[in-house]
A and B are shown apart, each in its own frame.
Chain A
Amino acid sequence: MTVLSRLVTTSISPERELAELIARAEGAGAVVSFCGIARPCAKSGETVERLVLDHYPDMTERSLEMIAQEGSRRFDVSDLRVVHRCGEIGPGETIVFVAAASAHRRAAFEAADYLMDRLKTDAVFWKREEGPGGSRWIEPTEGDRADAARWGV
Chain B
Amino acid sequence: MAGTKQTRILFFGSLVDSLGHEHLLSIPEEGWSVAELRQALCAREPVAGAALARPSVRAAVNHEIVGEDRRVYPGQEIAFLPPLSGG
Contact = CB atoms under 8 A, between A and B. Distances in A.
Nearest to B83: A140
Contact of A140 (B10, B12, B85): B85
Nearest to B64: A59
Contacts of A139: 83, 85
Contacts of A54: 12-13, 16
Interface string A39-79: 00000000000000111101100100000000000000000
Interface string B50-87: 00000000001001000000000000000101111111
B14 interface: yes
A126 B82 contact: yes
B52 to A, nearest CB: 15
Report whether over half of chain B's contact residues are helix, strand or loop; otherwise say mixed.
Answer: loop
Interface string A128-153: 10000000011110001000000000
A140 B87 CA distance: 10
Residue with the greatest number of chain A CB neighbours at <10 A, chosen from B12, B63, B84, B86: B86
Report whether over half of chain A's contact residues are helix, strand or loop; otherwise say mixed.
Answer: mixed
A50 to B, nearest CB: 15
Chain A interface size range: 20 to 34
A125 B86 contact: yes
A62 B63 contact: yes
B87 A58 contact: no
A6 interface: no
29 contacts: A36-B87, A56-B10, A56-B79, A56-B81, A58-B63, A59-B60, A59-B63, A95-B87, A96-B86, A96-B87, A119-B86, A121-B84, A122-B84, A123-B86, A123-B87, A125-B84, A125-B85, A125-B86, A125-B87, A126-B84, A126-B85, A127-B85, A127-B86, A137-B82, A137-B85, A139-B83, A140-B83, A140-B84, A144-B87
* A-B pairs, 5 with minimum CB distance: A126-B13, A125-B86, A123-B86, A119-B87, A120-B87
